[in-house]
């Protein structure tokens, strides 16, 4: 076994690999960029080497620097994690040439599976079922278009070199094909350096089911069952689970054996995932009718590998290290056992209600659910909650890397139990300072489709009514919680027992105190009356939406929150104040309520006029308009790229473009003015 390895990655996966290495007594070397000098993964390793600037191309993708760091520190092997260099055959070759073990498959297998079109030709020859489509080398747009017409719509155009959900366009009808092809090719050349595409039939009611495979250098190859990753947004995974709901032993074996055949066809070694798209021609719950087709093979450890670890009780990073050091696979196919049900939720810095726009910010408050790590027990995996992350409270989520903050993994004896654990764990995940998808994930997990296992990749669109723009906490409770927190803070500041019924200020006879809040863009007034008997009455809002009732509160047993009773409702809440904003966490979900100082805000409300600003730091990809153009509300004006995604900036109102402030390719900071618009 290795004595020392270098981890050529950052964030949660670098921490994840370091944890196993530590458990196995292997020393670890971290690498880090400027932005990551204080990162958690650096602290998680025994040594750390600075490899360059914050942008990935200046650090985590610079394999010369990484190899030099391995040499300098005496690391015998490099673990690439996922993303970055994990599927870069040049890096795998360079490692071999430098006498450093690449913890992954041989470069030839990476290359064979690296391009979607070529890998499909190879898989076809190996008898692996493929989605009907065109995977040829001829890229003449007219030919691609006629191939699509021949297949019938909808079709999917995919960048052959693509990954991470990027470089894909669904085309609904022939008229849209040419424009979709051009935009797919543009994204492909920018992101992957090649504009080669393939076109395939867009499978109806598709499910994404993938098989974890593992092979060693002695010719053994096994499958570690499946993961269902059908819940996606922008072709990227949101929730992953194992086993796949409705899976039968027969289908599992059939898919597993095809996946092993696919791996064997490229002389695979190490951890890999064969992704299948599964058609459900008879609707949900008819596994006998499901048809599976090879989609691609990811020649690395996958983000969602923990769900497989949960149901098998294995440590896949340990297996990777054993295989890379020449040991045989620890178990044979017949010895692998699937226990219980596991679900992973990807917690990301993004705004689901704004088309999943990535967010940057600082984790001012970062509370994780009480968790019990999956310890390996003799009788299989323990059930519990696991959090894999690469950040700590106080850390920033920068625009340089992807938006995943943490992964929450739950395991239960049954899917129902796992779902209940997931719901509770998400409710206990408290993040302030950063917009995240935590509440959204909770709603997805609770949605009818997910709860009943009616899965396909359109689940999020189908359930949109209950997933987006939801407010789990009403104004009355939010305001009551905020007022209760204010009073608690004031009493504590006065040195009074904050919950005593007889402290001084309460002896003023009856009087009223006014509060103003902003809640969902509306300004609301609230009045707190101190009654003769020491009780409090709170009135919130006006007109028919007004609520009035007695307010009482006390600290929770654990002291980190308040039990608030208001207008007949009793809730355990936690209010975290950041400036004027109160972040209110309740069992039903979380919300924000802003305390408004009416005098301080007099004169506001002029709006931003014709200023159009960047919603986040990133790069200007293109402008769709020029100075002088007349535009209408909602018309696309510019495309920005940030955190691996493209975002269209649309006109907020009708007007005329006065001036473009940047050129395509320019890097912009959050709030930078992109263009001037004369309204009207
Ligand atoms: P990536 O390399 O970006 O992961 P994939 O080829 O794995 O690209 O596809 C990503 C996702 O796109 C899949 O998980 C699935 O949801 C969807 N998808 C891919 N191919 C098809 C298809 N032929 N029909 C329907 N959906 C598809
Ligand atoms: P998975 O099926 O494991 O989610 P993806 O193709 O979505 O596979 O990519 C895996 C992960 O690799 C992503 O979630 C992302 O964190 C990381 N990744 C992929 N490409 C890059 C890149 N160019 N730079 C940084 N990270 C990347
Ligand atoms: Mg994929």
Q: What percent of the chain has pLDDT over 90?
A: 73
Burial class from Cβ neighbours inside 10 Å (0-12, 13-18, 19+) for residue 570 reads exposed
Q: Does 102 sit in the ligand 1 pocket, CB within 6 Å?
A: no
Indicate if the pLDDT at residue 626 is higher than 50: yes
The string of DSSP codes covering 72-137 is: HHT-SEEE--SSTTTT-HHHHHHHHHTT-EESSS-HHHHHHHHSHHHHHHHHHHTT--B-SEE--S
- SS3 percent helix, strand, coil of the chain, rounded to 5, is 30, 35, 40
Give the lowest-confidence range in 125-139, 372-386, 408-422, 585-599: 372-386
Q: Which residues contact 176 (CB under 8 A, 6 or more apart)?
A: none
Burial class from Cβ neighbours inside 10 Å (0-12, 13-18, 19+) for residue 311 reads buried
Rounded-to-integer distance, Cα 181 and Cα 187, Å: 10
Indicate if the pLDDT at residue 120 is higher than 80: yes
Indicate if the pLDDT at residue 581 is higher than 60: yes
Stretch 113-129: mean pLDDT = 93
Q: Does 206 sit in the ligand 1 pocket, CB within 6 Å?
A: yes
Q: Does 164 sit in the ligand 1 pocket, CB within 6 Å?
A: yes
For the chain, the average pLDDT equals: 90
Distance of CA 232 from the midpoint of ligand 1 (Å) = 10
Stretch 106-131: mean pLDDT = 94
Task: Determine which residue's CA is closest to atom 7 belonging to ligand 2.
Answer: 164
Could you tell me the CA-to-CA distances from 630 to 626, 639, 640, 661, 678 in Å, in that order? 9, 18, 21, 17, 9
Q: Which residues contact 477 (CB under 8 A, 6 or more apart)?
A: 564, 566, 569, 571, 573, 584, 586
Burial class from Cβ neighbours inside 10 Å (0-12, 13-18, 19+) for residue 249 reads exposed
What pairs with residue 365 in β-bridges? 432
Cβ–Cβ under 8 Å, residues 538 and 515 = no
Distance of CA 422 from the midpoint of ligand 3 (Å) = 24
Q: Does 171 sit in the ligand 1 pocket, CB within 6 Å?
A: no
Ligand 2 pocket: which of 83, 188, 227, 347 to mutate (most atoms within 8 A of CB):
83
Task: Determine which residue's CA is closest to atom 11 belonging to ligand 1.
Answer: 235
Atom of ligand 2 nearest to the CA of 86: 12
pLDDT at position 378 is 47
Task: Determine which residue's CA is closest to atom 11 belonging to ligand 2.
Answer: 83
Distance of CA 287 from the midpoint of ligand 2 (Å) = 30
Rounded-to-integer distance, Cα 123 and Cα 109, Å: 12
Indicate if the pLDDT at residue 454 is higher than 90: yes
Q: Name the token pair of 488.
A: 């608690």
Task: Determine which residue's CA is closest to atom 10 belonging to ligand 2.
Answer: 83
Could you tell me the CA-to-CA distances from 602 to 434, 519, 596, 609 in Å, in that order? 28, 18, 11, 18
Indicate if the pLDDT at residue 296 is higher than 70: yes
Which residues, judged by CB distance below 6 Å to any ligand atom, belong to the binding site of ligand 2?
A: 56, 82-84, 163-165, 236-237, 298, 302-303, 401-402, 404
The per-residue pLDDT for range 319-360, each reduced to its tens digit, is 999 999 999 999 999 999 999 999 999 999 999 999 999 999
Cβ–Cβ under 8 Å, residues 21 and 40 = no
Name the closest ligand to CA 229.
1
Indicate if the pLDDT at residue 634 is higher than 50: yes
Distance of CA 428 from the midpoint of ligand 2 (Å) = 27
Could you tell me the CA-to-CA distances from 376 to 137, 311, 319, 380 in Å, in that order? 48, 11, 14, 7
pLDDT at position 377 is 46
pLDDT at position 372 is 52
Cβ–Cβ under 8 Å, residues 654 and 633 = yes
Q: Is 16 noted as a catalytic residue in this protein?
A: no
Residues in the chain: 680
Rounded-to-integer distance, Cα 103 and Cα 85, Å: 11
Stretch 136-149: mean pLDDT = 96
Name the closest ligand to CA 346.
2
Q: Does 440 sit in the ligand 1 pocket, CB within 6 Å?
A: no
Stretch 211-233: mean pLDDT = 98
Atom of ligand 2 nearest to the CA of 404: 16
Rounded-to-integer distance, Cα 602 and Cα 295, Å: 58
Q: Reduce the secondary structure of 204-248 to three states and give it as a string.
A: CCCEEEEEEEEECCCCCEEEEEEEEEEEEECCEEEEEEECCCCCC
Rounded-to-integer distance, Cα 363 and Cα 357, Å: 18
Q: What is the dihedral of CA 284, 290, 295, 301, to 10 degrees?
A: 70
Instruction: Kindly report the backbone phi and psi dihedral angles of residue 461, in degrees, each rounded to the nearest multiple of 5, phi listed first.
Output: -65, -45
Indicate if the pLDDT at residue 371 is higher than 70: no
Rounded-to-integer distance, Cα 421 and Cα 441, Å: 13
Indicate if the pLDDT at residue 108 is higher than 50: yes
Q: Reduce the secondary structure of 55-70 to three states and give it as a string.
A: CHHHCCCCHHHHHHHH
Nearest C-alpha neighbor of 49 from the set 8, 92, 11, 87: 8
Atom of ligand 1 nearest to the CA of 457: 16
Q: Does 232 sit in the ligand 1 pocket, CB within 6 Å?
A: yes
Tell me the HSE value of 465 on the side-chain side, using a 13 A CA sphere: 3
Task: Determine which residue's CA is closest to atom 12 belonging to ligand 2.
Answer: 83
DSSP state of 328: P
E-strand ranges in 359-403 read 361-362, 365-367, 376-377, 380-381, 384-389, 396-397
Which of 300, 386, 421, 442 is an active site residue?
A: 300
Cβ–Cβ under 8 Å, residues 257 and 251 = no
pLDDT at position 43 is 98
Rounded-to-integer distance, Cα 482 and Cα 116, Å: 53
Atom of ligand 1 nearest to the CA of 295: 6
Q: Parallel, antiparallel, or unpaired for β 27-33 and 47-52? A: parallel
Q: Does 456 sit in the ligand 1 pocket, CB within 6 Å?
A: no
pLDDT at position 679 is 82
Label residue 607 by pLDDT band (50, 70, 90).
Answer: very low
Rounded-to-integer distance, Cα 229 and Cα 419, Å: 15
* Number of Cβ atoms within 10 Å of the Cβ of 532: 7
Stretch 464-491: mean pLDDT = 92
Distance of CA 281 from the midpoint of ligand 3 (Å) = 22
Q: Which helix (H) or strand (E) holds 594?
A: strand 589-595
Ligand 1 pocket: which of 132, 184, 187, 206 to mutate (most atoms within 8 A of CB):
206
The per-residue pLDDT for range 151-206, each reduced to its tens digit, is 999 999 999 999 888 899 999 999 999 999 999 999 999 889 999 999 999 998 89
Burial class from Cβ neighbours inside 10 Å (0-12, 13-18, 19+) for residue 159 reads buried
Atom of ligand 1 nearest to the CA of 131: 23
Distance of CA 216 from the midpoint of ligand 3 (Å) = 23
Stretch 451-457: mean pLDDT = 96
Atom of ligand 1 nearest to the CA of 275: 7
Distance of CA 273 from the midpoint of ligand 3 (Å) = 9
Tell me the HSE value of 547 on the side-chain side, using a 13 A CA sphere: 16
Atom of ligand 2 nearest to the CA of 346: 14
* Number of Cβ atoms within 10 Å of the Cβ of 439: 22
Indicate if the pLDDT at residue 375 is higher than 80: no
Distance of CA 82 from the midpoint of ligand 2 (Å) = 6
Cβ–Cβ under 8 Å, residues 644 and 662 = no
Label residue 102 by pLDDT band (50, 70, 90).
Answer: very high
Q: Does 203 sit in the ligand 1 pocket, CB within 6 Å?
A: yes
């Amino acid at each position: 076994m290795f004595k020392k390895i270098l981890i050529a990655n950052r964030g949660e996966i670098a921490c994840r690999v370091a944890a196993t290495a530590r458990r196995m007594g292997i020393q670890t070397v971290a690498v880090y960029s400027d932005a990551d000098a204080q990162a958690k993964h650096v602290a998680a390793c025994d040594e750390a080497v600075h490899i360059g600037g914050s942008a990935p191309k200046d650090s985590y993708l610079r394999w010369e620097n990484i190899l030099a760091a391995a040499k300098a520190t005496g690391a015998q092997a490099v673990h690439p994690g996922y993303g970055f260099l994990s599927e870069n055959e040049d890096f795998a070759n360079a490692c071999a040439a430098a006498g450093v073990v690449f913890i992954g498959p041989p470069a030839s297998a990476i290359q064979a599976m690296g391009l979607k079109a070529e890998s499909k030709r190879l898989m076809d020859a190996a008898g692996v079922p493929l989605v009907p489509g065109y995977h040829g080398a001829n890229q003449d747009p007219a030919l691609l278009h006629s191939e699509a017409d021949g297949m019938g719509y909808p079709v999917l155009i995919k960048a052959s070199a693509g990954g991470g959900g990027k470089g894909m366009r669904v085309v609904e009808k022939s008229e849209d094909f040419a424009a979709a092809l051009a935009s797919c090719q543009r994204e492909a050349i920018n992101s992957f350096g090649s504009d080669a595409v393939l076109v395939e039939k867009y499978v109806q009611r598709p499910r994404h089911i993938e098989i974890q495979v593992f092979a060693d250098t002695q010719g053994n190859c096994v499958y570690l069952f499946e993961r269902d990753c059908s819940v996606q947004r922008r072709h990227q995974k949101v929730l992953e689970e194992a086993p796949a709901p409705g899976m039968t032993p027969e289908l599992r074996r059939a898919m597993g054996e095809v996946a092993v055949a696919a791996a064997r066809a490229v002389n695979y070694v190490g951890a890999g995932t064969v992704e299948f798209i599964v058609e459900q021609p008879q609707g949900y719950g008819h596994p006998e009718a499901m048809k599976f087709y090879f989609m691609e093979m990811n020649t690395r450890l996958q983000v969602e590998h923990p769900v497989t670890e949960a149901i098998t009780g294995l440590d896949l990073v340990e297996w990777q290290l054993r295989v890379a050091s020449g040991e045989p696979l620890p178990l044979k196919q017949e010895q692998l056992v699937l226990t219980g049900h596991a679900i992973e939720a990807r917690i990301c810095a993004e705004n689901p209600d704004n088309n999943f726009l990535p967010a940057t910010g600082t984790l001012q408050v970062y509370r994780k659910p009480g968790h019990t790590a999956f310890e390996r027990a003799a009788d299989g995996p323990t059930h519990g909650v696991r959090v894999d992350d690469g950040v700590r409270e106080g850390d920033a989520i920068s625009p340089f890397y992807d938006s995943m903050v943490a992964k929450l993994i739950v395991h239960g004896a049954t899917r129902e139990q796992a779902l209940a654990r997931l719901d509770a764990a998400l409710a206990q995940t408290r993040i302030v300072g950063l917009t995240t998808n935590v509440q959204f994930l909770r709603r997805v997990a609770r949605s009818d489709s997910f709860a009943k296992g009616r899965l396909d990749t359109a689940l999020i669109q189908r359930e949109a009514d209950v997933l987006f723009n939801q407010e789990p906490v009403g104004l009355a409770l939010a305001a009551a919680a905020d007022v209760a927190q204010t009073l608690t803070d004031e009493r504590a500041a006065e040195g009074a027992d904050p919950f005593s019924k007889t402290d001084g200020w309460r002896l003023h006879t009856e009087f009223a105190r006014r509060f103003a809040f902003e809640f969902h863009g509306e300004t609301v007034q609230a009045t707190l009356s101190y009654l003769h008997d020491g009780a409090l009455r709170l009135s919130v809002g006006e007109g028919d939406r007004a609520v009035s009732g007695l307010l009482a509160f006390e600290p929770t047993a654990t002291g980190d929150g308040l039990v608030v009773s208001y207008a007949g409702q009793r809730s355990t809440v936690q209010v975290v104040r950041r400036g004027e904003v109160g972040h209110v966490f309740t069992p039903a979900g979380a919300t924000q309520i802003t305390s408004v100082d009416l005098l301080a805000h007099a004169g506001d409300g002029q709006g931003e006029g014709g200023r159009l600003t960047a919603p986040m730091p990133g790069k200007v990809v293109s402008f769709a308009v020029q100075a002088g153009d007349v535009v209408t509300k909602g018309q696309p004006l510019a495309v920005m790229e940030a955190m691996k995604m493209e975002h269209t900036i649309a006109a907020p109102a009708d007007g005329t473009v006065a001036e473009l402030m940047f050129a395509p390719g320019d890097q912009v900071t959050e709030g930078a003015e992109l263009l001037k618009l004369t309204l009207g």
